[in-house]
């Protein structure tokens, strides 16, 4: 092997962490002392990364094919899995029902092993479709619930079936064959077999009723009141999250107009995305009227909203002609002496002011200058 190749081999061992501590320390000393060697190492790493990236980019082709498959295929696989889960739940329910018939009881008893096998496979199915730990259950619950509804008519019956009574009298023996139940025909969500105990969050419904109070244009006066009684499923009490703010009272204030996402949370910390909430906009003219006599009053104190950050003030007459305009910084200027921007004292009359704030809102009013 040439000396160049030996260097590359050493670089490879180093970048892959395959050197022992002594070798590593020695190589790092060489790297520090030799800029050319250091550059070679960097170039080697860049090439490694390019080769890897080239291959991982090929995944796109595979994903494009997978994700553009007709939905029914993917949905069919998911539906089949979920049907098996439902069937497992139905079997559990059916088998644990008390019964008088000794023969059926005997069959049930002898088939406990098979039942538990079915339950186990149903459990595994659940895990396959379970939401990852970091994701809140609601997202998956929402989609799971939807899939359950959409795919109820799919397909292959589940594999679990309880034998009829006549079969029991004829074949009163132990069997190791899988037990089968007939899948109930599910018409809507209400008829779905009881959900596994571990999946409490699945009952929390993403629907809720509310009333919205419009917000003044450019302001945050909108309100949202949620009808808590309309929340279905889950465990009360409920909390709601709107635009990042949480409330247990189901009442949100100081909202601007627009669309918001509303999350419904219950006492078990389950969450589900509710309907998109819309706060309408309305035109509100805030009319503040002031009277100012420059001969008597020192100045007109500008009525800033102290809870906001004003950025500009404009004073104009009723024709829209601007007499005074100023940027505002830290609530300065704090007062106005009825002078125009050029220093002229304004004549008596009605003027209009508007104050702009950093949050985009506008405060408007009028000043009557008297003498």
Partner 1 sequence: MSSKDKNREILDAIANGQNTKVLNHLYETSLPQIIKFINMNDGDEDEAKDIFQDAVVALFTTVRMGKYEAEKDVNGFLFFVSRNLWINRVKKRNKQYDISKVRLPWADDTQSPLAVVITEDKEKLIEKFMSMMGEKCKQLLKYVIYDNMNMKDIAKLMNFASESVAKNAHYRCKQKMMDLVGEDETLNNFLYNELRS
Interacting residue ranges for partner 1, rule: CB under 8 A: 1-2, 4-5, 8-9, 16-17, 39-40, 42-57, 59-60, 62-64, 66-67, 74, 78, 127-129, 131-136, 139-140, 143, 243, 261, 263, 273
Task: State which residue, 83 or 313, has the beta carbon closest to partner 1.
Answer: 83
Q: What's the start-to-end Cα distance of the chain, in Å?
A: 102
Task: State which residue, 2 or 176, has the beta carbon closest to partner 1.
Answer: 2
Neighbours of 147 (CB within 10 A): 17
Smallest distance from partner 1 to CB 6, Å: 9
In the DSSP assignment, the letter for residue 332 is B
Distance from C-alpha of 241 to C-alpha of 252, rounded to nearest angstrom: 9
Task: State which residue, 98 or 132, has the beta carbon closest to partner 1.
Answer: 132
Q: Which residue has the tokens 């064959």?
A: 177
Task: State which residue, 1 or 190, has the beta carbon closest to partner 1.
Answer: 1
Distance from C-alpha of 316 to C-alpha of 346, rounded to nearest angstrom: 11
Smallest distance from partner 1 to CB 11, Å: 9
Smallest distance from partner 1 to CB 216, Å: 20
Neighbours of 29 (CB within 10 A): 10
Task: State which residue, 90 or 201, has the beta carbon closest to partner 1.
Answer: 201
Task: State which residue, 238 or 263, has the beta carbon closest to partner 1.
Answer: 263
Task: State which residue, 48 or 223, has the beta carbon closest to partner 1.
Answer: 48
Q: Which residues contact 312 (CB under 8 A, 6 or more apart)?
A: 325, 326, 327, 328, 355, 356
Smallest distance from partner 1 to CB 243, Å: 8
Smallest distance from partner 1 to CB 105, Å: 35
Smallest distance from partner 1 to CB 65, Å: 10
Q: Minimal CA–CA distance to 224: which of 248, 246, 245, 255?
A: 255
For Cα atoms 160, 162, 167, give the angle at the middle one, nearest 5 degrees: 135
Run of H or E residues at 6: helix 3-15
Is residue 19 within 8 Å of residue 13, measured between CB atoms?
yes
Smallest distance from partner 1 to CB 103, Å: 39
- Which pair of tokens denotes residue 237? 């009490």
- Which pair of tokens denotes residue 304? 């800033």
């Amino acid at each position: 092997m040439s000396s160049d190749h030996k260097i590359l081999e050493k670089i490879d061992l180093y970048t892959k962490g395959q050197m022992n501590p002594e070798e590593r320390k020695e190589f790092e000393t060489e790297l520090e002392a030799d800029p050319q060697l250091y550059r070679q190492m960097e170039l080697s790493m860049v090439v490694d990364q390019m080769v890897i990236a080239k291959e991982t980019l090929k995944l796109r082709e595979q994903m494009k094919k997978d994700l553009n498959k007709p939905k029914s295929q993917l949905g069919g696989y998911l539906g089949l899995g979920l049907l098996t889960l439902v069937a497992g739940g139905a079997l559990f329910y059916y088998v644990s029902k008390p019964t008088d018939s000794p023969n059926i009881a005997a069959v049930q008893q002898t088939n406990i092993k098979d039942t538990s096998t079915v339950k186990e496979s149903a459990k595994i199915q659940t895990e396959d479709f379970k939401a990852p730990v970091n994701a809140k259950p609601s997202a998956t619950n929402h989609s799971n619930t939807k899939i359950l509804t959409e795919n109820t008519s799919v397909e292959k019956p589940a594999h679990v079936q309880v034998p009829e009574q006549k079969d029991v009298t004829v074949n009163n023996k132990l069997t190791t064959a899988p037990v089968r139940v007939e899948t109930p025909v599910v018409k809507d969500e209400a008829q779905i077999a009881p959900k596994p105990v571990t999946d409490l969050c699945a009952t929390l419904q993403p629907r809720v009723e509310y009333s919205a109070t419009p917000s003044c244009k450019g302001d945050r006066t909108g309100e949202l009141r949620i009808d808590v009684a309309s929340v279905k499923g889950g465990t009360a009490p409920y909390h709601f999250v709107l635009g990042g703010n949480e409330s247990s009272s189901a009442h949100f204030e100081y909202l601007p107009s627009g669309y918001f996402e509303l999350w419904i949370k219950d006492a078990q910390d389950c969450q589900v995305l509710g309907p998109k909430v819309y706060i309408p906009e309305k035109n509100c003219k805030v009319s503040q009227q002031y009277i100012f006599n420059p001969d008597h009053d020192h100045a007109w104190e500008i009525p800033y909203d102290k809870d906001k950050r004003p950025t500009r003030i404009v004073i104009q007459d009723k024709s829209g002609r601007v007499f005074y305009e100023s940027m505002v910084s830290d609530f300065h200027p704090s007062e106005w002496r009825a002078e125009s921007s050029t220093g002229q004292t304004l004549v008596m009359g009605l003027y209009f002011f508007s104050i702009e704030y950093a949050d985009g809102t506008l405060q408007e009013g009028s000043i009557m200058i008297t003498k």
